[in-house]
Amino acid sequence: MDRFGKYVKELFEWNEDMKKFLGSDKVDKNFALWEKLDNFTDLMESISTPLSDTELLNLQSEAETIHEEMEEYFNRKQELGVIWIAESVVPPGSHTLPDLPYPYNALEPYISEEIMKVHHDKHHYSYVEGLNKAELRMVEAREKSDFSLVKHWSRELAFHGSGHYLHTIFWENMGPRGEERPKRRLEKEIKSYFGSYEAFKKHFSEAAIQVEGSGWVLLVWSPRSRHLEIVQSEKHSGQALWDTIPILVLDVWEHAYYLQYKNNRAAYVENWWKIVNWSNVEMRFEKAVELKWNSF
C-alpha cells in the first residue's frame, strides 16, 4: 500500500474509532459531532484516486476540525463529569428555589453580598412561588372545567415561570473566577456571526443598557436558523423570540443592581463581564446546538 493509501486508511480507521466511542458513551444521535463523523466517512469512502495538494489540505483541515471538536468533548466531559443530565419531571406546583452555586459574597466587588441575598432569597423565591401557584390554579381550572380566569393565570404562569427559569440560568452564567472570553466552538460561532468578540460584547452591552424599564438581555441559539442572536426581554417574557434557546442572560431589573450601582446601569453591565462563567455558557451552547429544526 502506498503512503497516500495508508494515510487515507488511518484517517478512516480513526474516524470509525471516534464513532464507536460516541456510541459506547451513549451520546445522542442528534449530537452535532455524529453528523460530522458520518459526513467524513462518506468523504473518505468516495476517494478512489490520489488527491491534489489542495484537496489533501482540505481533507487534513476537515480531520483537524473534527479532532479539535472531539478534544473539546473530552475536555468538557472531564470538567463536568457527565454532560448528559438524567430526565426528571417536576409535577405542577412543585418547583423549588435552586441553591446558588457559590457563596453570597463570591461575586464581590462586582455584585455585593447584600444584593445577592435579596435577589436570590426574596425575588427569585417569589417567582418560584408565583409559578407554583399559577400551575396549581391551572390544574384546578381543568379539573373544574372553569376557565374564567385562564387569561390571568396564563399571564402569571408566563411571568413567574420565565422569572424562575431565567434566574436559574443567570446564577450559573456567573462565577467568582470570571473568564475573559469564551473559547472553543462558541468563540468561533460568535466571531462568525457578530464579526468579532468585541462587536458581540458591545452589541450585548448596549442592548442591556437600553432595555426599556425592567428586563433582560439574552444571547440565544436558534435551532432553526442555526445561528446566535441577541434579544431583549421586557420584564421576563415580553418581546420573547420563540423557538430559541437562551445560553447567556443578564438581569437588568433594578433589584439586580440598584443597591450598589443606583441608576448607573451601564457601570453594572460593564463590571458584570468580569464575572461571566464562560465554561457554563459554552456547556449550554454545546447542548443547544444538538437540537436541529428544518430551516425556513
- Rounded Cα distance, 227 and 186, in Å: 11
Per-residue pLDDT reduced to its tens digit, 86-129: 557 899 999 999 999 999 999 999 999 999 999 999 999 999 99
User: Which domain covers residue 67, as residue numbers?
Assistant: 3-80
Tens digit of pLDDT for each residue in 23-57?
A: 766 666 666 777 777 877 777 777 767 777 787 77
Are 126 and 107 in contact, with CB atoms under 8 Å apart? no
Residue 36 covered by a domain? yes
| Residue 233 sits in the same domain as residue 125 | yes
CATH of the domain at 254: 3.55.40.20
284, β-bridge pairs: none
| Same structural domain, 71 and 130 | no
User: What is the pTM assigned to this prediction?
Assistant: 0.71
Is the same domain home to 145 and 218? yes
Cα(231)–Cα(241) distance, rounded to whole angstroms? 7
Span 169-187, average pLDDT: 91
Q: Count of CB atoms within 10 A of residue 289's CB?
A: 20
Assigned domain for 228 exists: yes
The verdict on residue 8 lying in a domain is yes
Cβ-count burial of 190 within 10 angstroms (0-12 exposed, 13-18 middle, 19+ buried)?
Answer: buried
Average pLDDT for the chain: 86
CB atoms within 10 A of CB 272: 22
Which residues neighbour 81 within 8 Å (Cβ) at sequence distance 6 or greater?
A: none
123 and 15 co-located in one domain: no
Q: Is the pLDDT of residue 277 over 80?
A: yes
